[in-house]
Amino acid sequence: NKYIVIKAKIDGKPQESDFEFKTETLSLPINPVSNDIIVKNLCISIDPYQINRMKTVSASQETSEFAAGISPGEVIVAFGVGKVVASHNPKFEKGDYVVGHISWGEYSISQGFILNKLDPMGFPLSYHVGILGLAGLTAYAGFFEVCKPKKGEKVFVSAACGSVGNLVGQYAKNFGCYVVGCAGSAKKVKLLKEKLGFDEAFNYKEETDLNLTLKRYFPDGIDIYFDNVGGEMLEAAISTMNLHGRVALCGIISEYTNAGKRAAPDMLSVMYKSITIQGFLVGNYLHLFPEFLKLTIDHLRTGKMHVLEDVSFGLESVPSAFVGLFRGDNVGKRCVQVSQD
């Protein structure tokens, strides 16, 4: 089994040279009550939060499973889809497709925790880490449960051409909101407006004063801000928000690598305008999975939602795929197809 590890804790933006490949021989324990299974990894989800596990964090930040540290040399657990090739676990049989915790490797060995059987329902496996998987549920739960939208409200989404962001915008448009997204290139802006139906989109890298930019796109103010980036964009969004505005704090990627400025929103505005800023983790909304799946498959089948994914091939491409997230290389859900089947 070939797998990937970090050489040392990562400080700042990740580089491909921070990672190395290792090999090991896999074998199941003879003891049939071990519950061990071996999964052939098929599609690995490439996610920004992993950087928070790879860097040194303060004790107070080590509170969630998402932030639990990865040590140098250790197997990197990640979300993805795989196929069971051997099982001592009554929950799984050889040949089952599974979704959940696999690893950055050709194979994963586990006891089946945070792993469920998957019925691909005829969709490509990559959809089950993207639009029909955790990325989709993050967008769905964050928008409908955290933001509590009303039809006609004005919604702003950052990293809008990313995995979660593009889906938030599409849910919001289908729900009947006015939606503006920001992204880091002209190509992404075009996609948002021409393919995904955003009302407006802009390239934040070309703007010099984000307060003025947001006032230009939202002359009547923002009702909902779905934040994927934190930093200066969060500050500008807060200053443009309406009374009783809501911010869903999904991610703060500009602050993950310590390269960006930490957001210092104007808290007087938050107080005067009774703004709600709510952080959330998708893991706390798994109960919404059935309703999310129903609506999303319905939207897919009726052409109301489009799939935006960015798939690369082979385990060797995992480090570059991951590092590229922090440069904005990806268009839509980034994943790596490690093996065909």
41 or 254: whose CB is closer to ligand NDP? 254
Dihedral of CA atoms 206, 211, 212, 214 in degrees, nearest 10, equals 80
Query: Closer CB to ligand NDP, residue 135 or residue 275?
Result: 135
Interacting residues toward ligand NDP by CB under 6 A: 47-49, 135, 138, 159, 161-165, 183-185, 188, 228-229, 250-251, 253-254, 260, 280-282, 325-326, 328, 330, 334
Contacts (Cβ under 8 Å, ≥6 apart) of 168: 139, 142, 143, 155, 157, 160, 226
Minimum CB separation from ligand NDP for residue 29, in Å?
Answer: 34
Cβ atoms of 106 and 1 within 8 Å: the answer is yes
Nearer to ligand NDP, 96 or 227 (CB): 227
Q: Nearest approach, Cβ of 40 to ligand NDP (angstroms)? A: 24
Q: How far is the CB of 37 from ligand NDP (least distance, A)?
A: 25
Strand ranges, E, within 119-233: 154-157, 178-183, 200-203, 222-227
Nearer residue to ligand NDP within complex by CB, 65 or 291: 65
Query: What CA–CA distance (Å, rounded) separates 198 from 308?
Result: 14
Q: How far is the CB of 30 from ligand NDP (least distance, A)?
A: 39
Nearer to ligand NDP, 115 or 282 (CB): 282
Least Å from the CB of residue 211 to ligand NDP: 16
The residues that bridge with 277 in the sheet, in sequence order, are 247
Q: E strands along 68-110, which residues?
A: 77-87, 97-103, 107-110
